[in-house]
Chains A and B, each alone.
Chain A
Amino acid sequence: MATDHSRTAARFMISPAVLLLLGWMIIPLSMTIYFSFLNYNLLSPGMEEFIGFDNYEFFLTDPAFFAALGNTLLLVGGVLLITIIGGIGLALLLDQPMWGQGIVRILVIAPFFVMPTVSALVWKNMFMNPVDGLFAHAAKALGFAPFDFLAHAPLFSIIMIVAWQWLPFATLILLTALQSLDQEQIEASKIDGANKVNRFIYIVLPHMSRAITVVILIQTIFLLSIFAEILVTTNGGPGYASTNLTYLVYAQSLLQFDVGGGSAGGIIAVILANIVAFFLMRMIGKNLEA
């Protein structure tokens, strides 16, 4: 039994972390909410005035917002699709007996540790560049015209770069889940005459479903805030073709100095992230009880 003494001590030990996070969450977030109701531009200081929901109206009727919202969904959805399917395939492959398994695992996981600005620049210049990139060389060698990926398919190119970075994460987690699969269950199903496909659909996939959900939710949280990859490859362009919500808010507030409009966009992004977070928290909460 914990004594009163240790309970007091425990509270004392928890409080710095709680107070700091509380401050981190409440102070800036309430400032953002406050700013979002102001006509506030950094270029005209002292002219702030309360304008109600005008910023939200401006943001929600701006075509750029819908472009950014669509791009955000495409970016998150596209990367999820590639990493989940690729991750399941890779996890199944890496779970097989082979020579040099440890090394292959290391090769597959490596992209996750590359900082976003490096991977974006390496892909942009050394692979996707229409003159000197490897893809351009390959296209020329095969007799095709080089394709300018970031100019003509900017969002697709960013999806590929981000998917490359996150595929290792999905693979690693799905592989971990796969390795906890009860081998006796597999053996029993073999005796019962189940073939590989049936075993995958009825035993392996249900066993991994929890890990898949976790991967989807956690990646979504991170993918909603993709920023560096866009900043160093396309700057959100051409036009708004590769602008996501995060980048739009950044551009509105720190490039156009419209603090009010940017804040309204920030609050909209918070609301969207909260919808995802709600489901993630429920999953993790359930696990905590188990």
Chain B
Amino acid sequence: MTNNNPNYNKLIVTLFAWAIGLLIFFPILWTILTSFKTEAEAIASPPLFLGFNWTLENYLEVHERSNYFLHFWNSVVISVGSTLLGLLIAIPAAWAMAFVPAKQTKNVLMWMLSTKMLPPVGVLIPIYLLFRDFGLLDTRVGLVIVLTLINLPIIVWMLYTYFKEIPGEILEAARMDGATLWSEVIYVLTPMAVPGIASTLLLNIILAWNEAFWTLNLTAAKAAPLTAFIASYSSPEGLFYAKLSAASTMAIAPILIMGWFSQKQLVRGLTFGAVK
């Protein structure tokens, strides 16, 4: 029987896996293809797969009609800003919990995590009203604050699981040599912690970039990131498939690329270290 031939099995598995992989990826592929069609080709029947006149016109037009790059820039500012602010707050906290554990450390960590489980609608109205009263509605500052707070527990947790893996003996040795707390942090710990911090940064930018509850509820036009801007295409007058596809492709491309580099960190970050 050929069935016992390992190469034959491998071929079958390969074909099957590729078929399923392409099927799952197809909506993204189709969006990318459609972004290079004209509007007429985008709704042609039967649908055109590759045999159409490739054009970049949609990418130019999306920007001309809607100031696309303002929304792109909003996404960048909000996701990177909230991530950096979050790291600034979380790095000292995670460091302290990992290297100077106290009796309460575990409870504090668990409590931080529990704040992440608070459904956003539970606080939607007060946040909306507070934002209105403080003039934060539709501002990038307001969104940076909210996204920092909602992702802070994940940042602390991820950093904590990474810092936990740094051997404590190294710190002991540094202390023996007379290092102060701050020089310990700056010269010994930071270099060892950089890979963990980088992964946390990457995952958090992805989460913040795609966040679509607060960005939709707290922005209108000025500070709207791509999540909210793309949502405006749901109105009937915005039904242009090729332009929708071009806007979508640009919105997902940077994160898709970052995401592929951070598969491992994704598992760790989103399971709070429960699966590694």
**A residues bordering B, Cβ < 8 Å?**
2, 5-7, 9-11, 13-14, 16-18, 20-21, 24-25, 27-29, 31-32, 35, 90, 93-94, 96-101, 103-119, 121-127, 132, 134, 137, 140-141, 164, 167-169, 172-173, 176-177, 180, 210-211, 214, 218, 221, 224-225, 227-228, 231-233, 245-246, 249-250, 253-254, 259, 262-263, 265-267, 269-270, 272-274, 276-277, 280-281, 283-285, 287-288
Query: With a CB–CB cut-off of 8 A, which chain A residues contact B106?
Result: 285, 288
- B121, A118: Cβ atoms closer than 8 Å: no
Query: With a CB–CB cut-off of 8 A, which chain A residues contact B113?
Result: 281, 284
Query: With a CB–CB cut-off of 8 A, which chain A residues contact B112?
Result: 17-18, 21
- A231, B231: Cβ atoms closer than 8 Å: yes
- A117, B212: Cβ atoms closer than 8 Å: yes
What 9 A-B pairs have minimum CB-CB distances, sorted nearest first?
A: A13-B92, A228-B212, A107-B21, A113-B259, A31-B126, A10-B96, A28-B123, A277-B117, A28-B126
Stretch at the interface among B39-47, B51-59, B61-69, B193-201: B39-47
User: Does B84 have its Cβ within 8 Å of any Cβ on chain A?
Assistant: no
- A10, B46: Cβ atoms closer than 8 Å: no
> Which residues B209-246 have CB closer than 8 A to chain A?
209-210, 212-213, 216-217, 226-228, 230-231, 233-234, 239, 241, 244-245
- A134, B30: Cβ atoms closer than 8 Å: yes
Q: Show 26 residue pairs from A and B whose CB-CB distance is below 8 angstroms, ordered by the A residue.
A: A9-B100, A17-B152, A18-B93, A18-B108, A21-B152, A29-B118, A32-B125, A96-B10, A108-B21, A111-B28, A114-B210, A117-B230, A122-B245, A123-B27, A126-B241, A137-B45, A173-B275, A176-B264, A210-B275, A232-B234, A250-B217, A262-B125, A276-B117, A281-B114, A283-B274, A284-B113
- B230, A32: Cβ atoms closer than 8 Å: no
User: Does B97 have its Cβ within 8 Å of any Cβ on chain A?
Assistant: yes
User: Does B130 have its Cβ within 8 Å of any Cβ on chain A?
Assistant: yes
> Which residues B156-196 have CB closer than 8 A to chain A?
156, 181
Given the contacts A121-B248, A228-B212, A228-B231, A141 and B119 also touching, CB distance less than 8 Å? no
- A112, B259: Cβ atoms closer than 8 Å: yes
B161–chain A nearest beta-carbon distance, Å: 10
- A124, B89: Cβ atoms closer than 8 Å: no
- B110, A281: Cβ atoms closer than 8 Å: yes
User: Does B77 have its Cβ within 8 Å of any Cβ on chain A?
Assistant: no
From B10, B28, B123, A29 is in contact (CB under 8 Å) with B123
- A25, B118: Cβ atoms closer than 8 Å: yes
Q: How far is the CA of A280 from the CA of B153 in the complex (A)?
A: 15
- A117, B109: Cβ atoms closer than 8 Å: no
B89–chain A nearest beta-carbon distance, Å: 5
From B34, B126, B256, B271, A27 is in contact (CB under 8 Å) with B126
From B24, B153, B260, A21 is in contact (CB under 8 Å) with B153
Query: With a CB–CB cut-off of 8 A, which chain B residues contact A141?
Result: 46
A69–chain B nearest beta-carbon distance, Å: 14
- B123, A125: Cβ atoms closer than 8 Å: no
Q: How far is the CA of A137 from the CA of B42 in the complex (A)?
A: 12
Given contacts A107-B24, A172-B266, A273-B122, 7 further A-B contacts (CB under 8 A): A10-B96, A113-B252, A121-B230, A169-B266, A214-B271, A246-B120, A277-B114
Query: With a CB–CB cut-off of 8 A, which chain B residues contact A29?
Result: 118, 122-123, 126
Given the contacts A116-B227, A127-B27, A176 and B267 also touching, CB distance less than 8 Å? yes
Given the contacts A13-B95, A262-B125, A266-B123, A96 and B17 also touching, CB distance less than 8 Å? yes
User: Does B70 have its Cβ within 8 Å of any Cβ on chain A?
Assistant: no
Query: With a CB–CB cut-off of 8 A, which chain B residues contact A108?
Result: 20-21, 24-25
- B260, A109: Cβ atoms closer than 8 Å: yes
- A14, B96: Cβ atoms closer than 8 Å: yes
- A167, B24: Cβ atoms closer than 8 Å: yes
Given the contacts A116-B212, A284-B274, A249 and B152 also touching, CB distance less than 8 Å? no
Q: How far is the CA of A265 from the CA of B120 in the complex (A)?
A: 12
Given the contacts A96-B17, A218-B271, A284-B110, A111 and B27 also touching, CB distance less than 8 Å? yes
Kindly report which residue of chain B lies nearest to residue A97, judged by CB atoms.
B10
Given the contacts A28-B126, A99-B10, A266-B122, A116 and B210 also touching, CB distance less than 8 Å? yes
Q: How far is the CA of A166 from the CA of B218 in the complex (A)?
A: 25
Q: How far is the CA of A10 from the CA of B119 in the complex (A)?
A: 30
Q: How far is the CA of A51 from the CA of B8 in the complex (A)?
A: 73
Query: With a CB–CB cut-off of 8 A, which chain B residues contact A11?
Result: 96
- A249, B124: Cβ atoms closer than 8 Å: yes
Q: How far is the CA of A214 from the CA of B269 in the complex (A)?
A: 12
- B263, A105: Cβ atoms closer than 8 Å: yes
